[in-house]
Structure 1
Amino acid sequence: MYTKSLLVATFLVLGATVAITSECKMIWIFGIPCRDVYVTLVTQIKNWRNVGSCITGSQSCLYELVSTTPYVIKAKHTSPRTKFSNTFLIIFNPAEEATMCRVTGDSISDFFVDPVDSDINYCSLQNLIDGSGLSKVDGYKHFTNEYICVESHAPNCTIG
């Protein structure tokens, strides 16, 4: 009986944890080669790695480059206000033409939703694109919706 109760309690806890974990998926298209996008994003993550790059109220800091491969960047962002973090993957899908690049971003909260930074997954990804200047390149397009990125309907992503 004890084992059955323990299993039920474990499933309830795991279910509650999954229910309050936040995730965001986004797609970007850039009118420049993927190599340029890749280098720009890795450079921006490195530039925003320490707390010294924070401006009061800004989220443009505490990024950490976890790993890279030719078509994948794995990184982490920690909120300077709450210290909650999220991990994200940026996956490159080079188009047939060398002048276009399709990129997918997938961010998930590490553990649970941060009630103060409820849009942290969306903002961690989009601030990186905006802060690096990639949102201003020719051919830039951005796709997401509230079903694949719950925070995308009204984000507050001040990058300072």
Structure 2
Amino acid sequence: MYLQTWLIVVFGILGVSVPVPAGPLHAQCSVDWYLGIPCKDHCRLCHGRTEVSVPGGRFLLPQRSVQLLSANVHFTAGKHTTPVKKFVDDVSFRLVPSDLYTHCRVSGFSISETWYVAFNHGTNYCNLYNLMEGSGLTDVPGYKEMTSAFICTQRSRANCTV
């Protein structure tokens, strides 16, 4: 009994160090892109090159499908279903004008709806990147991507070939 009390006091005072993996504990990804074009051009470019008129309100890229839920000049949201396991990911893009409305910052976020998915080989990153690439935005002047493994689960394992 004396030993248990002593251990509780020691760990209480010193604290217990438990290794925790860096980054989110759930499969998700956050990416910021900086574009040298106004946000209004991004919206027009996105809708002009990725939307396809099909039943169910979907816009398609080769081997990728995202159901569009809402879209306006500042925010776009949808759902992506993985082809094999049929997991559903929520995908969103927020557009913020910068540099006196001559440039655009696009903040993308994708998160797995399935609560127990912790590792997905970069699927959430690919959800975002494939839409940016498919819309032609990776080729615009001033394109720059900002993310890391800390805010984007398994970004380094992502294979976004379409």
- TM-score tier by shorter-chain length is 0.7 to 0.9
Q: Percent identity?
A: 34
SS in 2 for 1:62: strand
Deviation per CA, 1:57-112: give whole Å up to 9, x if none. Answer: x3xx2211101233111111112222212111100110133321011011100114
Q: Is 1:34 aligned to residue 39 of structure 2?
A: yes
Q: Which runs of 5 or more residues in structure 2 are unaligned? A: 1-23
Aligned residue number for residue 148 of structure 1: 151
Report which of the two structures shows the higher radius of gyration computed on alpha carbons: 2
Question: 1:75 aligned to 78, 86, 91, which one?
Answer: 78
Structure with greater helix percent: 1
Q: Structure 2 CA distance, aligned partners of 1:26 and 1:20? A: 17
Question: 2:87 aligned to 76, 84, 88, which one?
Answer: 84
Moved more, 131-140 or 91-100: 91-100
Whether contact under 8 Å (1:45, 1:64) holds in the other structure is: no
Runs of 4+ with deviation above 2 angstroms? 39-51, 96-99, 112-115
Question: 1:120 aligned to 116, 120, 123, which one?
Answer: 123
Q: Structure 1 CA distance, aligned partners of 2:36 and 2:59? A: 30
Using the TM superposition, give the Cα deviation of residue 156 of structure 1 relative to its aligned residue in structure 2, in angstroms: 0.7
Deviation per CA, 1:13-32: give whole Å up to 9, x if none. Answer: xxxxxx86311000001111
Seen in structure 2, the aligned counterparts of structure 1 residues 127 and 148 have a Cα distance that, compared at 3 Å, is same
Whether contact under 8 Å (1:42, 1:65) holds in the other structure is: no
Q: Structure 2 CA distance, aligned partners of 1:98 and 1:50? A: 27
Q: Which runs of 5 or more residues in structure 1 are unaligned? A: 1-18
Q: Structure 2 CA distance, aligned partners of 1:80 and 1:43? A: 25
Whether contact under 8 Å (1:29, 1:141) holds in the other structure is: yes
Moved more, 19-28 or 69-78: 19-28
Residue identity in the other structure for 1:78: T
Residue identity in the other structure for 2:144: K
Using the TM superposition, give the Cα deviation of residue 41 of structure 1 relative to its aligned residue in structure 2, in angstroms: 2.5
Seen in structure 2, the aligned counterparts of structure 1 residues 22 and 94 have a Cα distance that, compared at 3 Å, is same
TM-score (norm 1): 0.73
Whether contact under 8 Å (2:31, 2:146) holds in the other structure is: yes
| Residues matched between the structures, number | 134
TM-score (norm 2): 0.72
Seen in structure 2, the aligned counterparts of structure 1 residues 20 and 34 have a Cα distance that, compared at 3 Å, is same
Deviation per CA, 1:126-156: give whole Å up to 9, x if none. Answer: 0111111110111000010000001211311
Whether contact under 8 Å (1:86, 1:121) holds in the other structure is: yes
Whether contact under 8 Å (2:79, 2:89) holds in the other structure is: yes
